[in-house]
Amino acid sequence: GIISLISLAVLSYERYCTMTRTTEADTTNYRKSWTGIILSWAYSLLWTVPPLFGWSSYGPEGPGITCSVNWHSKDANNASYIVCLFIFCLVIPFAIIVYSYGKLLCAVRQGSSISKGPGRSREQRILVMVVVMVVCFLLCWLPYAAVALIATFGKPGLITPAASIIPAILAKSSTVYNPIIYVFLNKQV
């Protein structure tokens, strides 16, 4: 989930930079792509490894069919990790996405900031694809985030194992949707 949202944040910023650049993108240079991929994975590892070393913990969630962060522990160690996880792995990446697309929409409305050329329609299709991916990601992960926060900071027993099944499965299935979206919105496939 973290790598997925970080990748979407990187993609949204990259779309903003590509769409507002006055020259055509260099499709033969993959340095920026590889840098984005490596940084996304490194950032995700930075936030998924701490429970292995004692900052919070992993364990079964809901009825015990999936594994996740221990949302039900009420100690300060666990709560601090969960707060950091939500800020640095949901709020900040989502803010980058909103910023990038907000600036891009402002540039599109002004019209003069978006360069013209044969590659622009391709870039616009990619923009639509990334926006659809972000919306699908949020539809999958926001219910899970809400249930996790309620389980962590709400009254004990407020979220029953049965109530947490659908948000957990929906969140875990989010990785399936990006390839499907990519196939249907990419004419080259």
Tally the C-alpha atoms within 13 A of residue 139's C-alpha that lie toward its C-beta: 9
Domain enclosing residue 81, as ranges: 1-185
For CA atoms 109, 115, 120, 125, the dihedral sign is: negative
Going 63 to 77 to 146 to 5, the CA torsion angle's sign is negative
- Between 33-37, 81-85, 112-116, 142-146, the lowest mean confidence (pLDDT) is in 112-116
Classify residue 69 as exposed, middle or buried by CB count within 10 Å of its CB (0-12, 13-18, 19+).
buried
**Above 60 in pLDDT, residue 166?**
yes
* Average of per-residue pLDDT values in the chain: 81
Structure tokens at 105: 């929409």
pLDDT above 60: residue 101: yes
The number of domains in the chain is 1
Query: What pLDDT band is residue 39 in, cutting at 50, 70 and 90?
Result: very high
Structural contact between residues 73 and 153, judged by C-beta atoms closer than 8 angstroms: no
The CATH number linked to 9 is 1.20.1070.10
b/e map 132-167, b = 16+ CB within 10 Å: bbbebbbebbebbbebbeebbeeeeeebeeeebbeb
pLDDT, tens only, 112-125: 545 555 556 666 77
